[in-house]
Structure 1
């Protein structure tokens, strides 16, 4: 595994802080919310919504993914298109830190992440 347990804890803390500052108001979180997970070397940020006309059933819609590449000590950035495949984020395809990934996500220069 390319990311150590110490680094995973650090990344969780940083990303969790970002997510908490961008979550919707508490009274609508049962309808729409924001979360993340770490899978292998990737941090995936996604939206959680109720499935239309299926109350109580939730679905996740991916927003962004950053994958750590140990060889280059950098993060590759991705967004998910309508074809449901991850595509490199061309304005900024690679960054050096998870903090810069979150800054790119926040800026969303081409409207790929937040629309």
Structure 2
């Protein structure tokens, strides 16, 4: 099931607010940047970097993911571990709003998202 227009508006508002705070300065965004995207029922935050051997090629590295569970009306939070698999974020595995997800990723109290 696709997101409703209201949910998309909430995602865009929270996501853009997050990017205002977390994105690197404009002068280095061609080297490293931050973005989010919607895939199915999930919102993914990813880092965009130039490939070290070929600076014209960009690589996306996942940082965090929130998946909406319609039946329970909450978002499940995941982080990418070194095994390159998504794992539940145990300190706060669920939140009720997408804004809370972006806040948790920004604060990163347990250094799971940003190291």
RMSD over aligned Cα atoms: 1.1
What's the secondary structure of 2:21's corresponding residue?
A: helix
Matched, 1:72 2:69: no
Shift of the alpha carbon at 1:47?
0.4
Superposed CA deviations along residues 54-76 of structure 1, whole A, max 9, x for unmatched, are 12000001010000001110000
Higher-strand-fraction structure: 1
For these two proteins, the number of residue pairs brought into alignment is 115
1:13-92 aligned at under 5 Å gives the runs: 13-92=13-92
Q: Which structure ranks higher in relative contact order (CA pairs < 8 Å, sequence separation ≥ 6)? A: 2
- CA distance in 1: counterparts of 2:76 and 2:10, whole angstroms: 18
Equivalent position SS for 1:44: strand
So what's the TM-score if we normalise by structure 1?
A: 0.94
Query: TM-score, normalized by length of structure 2?
Result: 0.94
- Unaligned 5+ residue runs, structure 1? none
Q: Distance in 2 between matches of 1:107 and 1:36?
A: 17
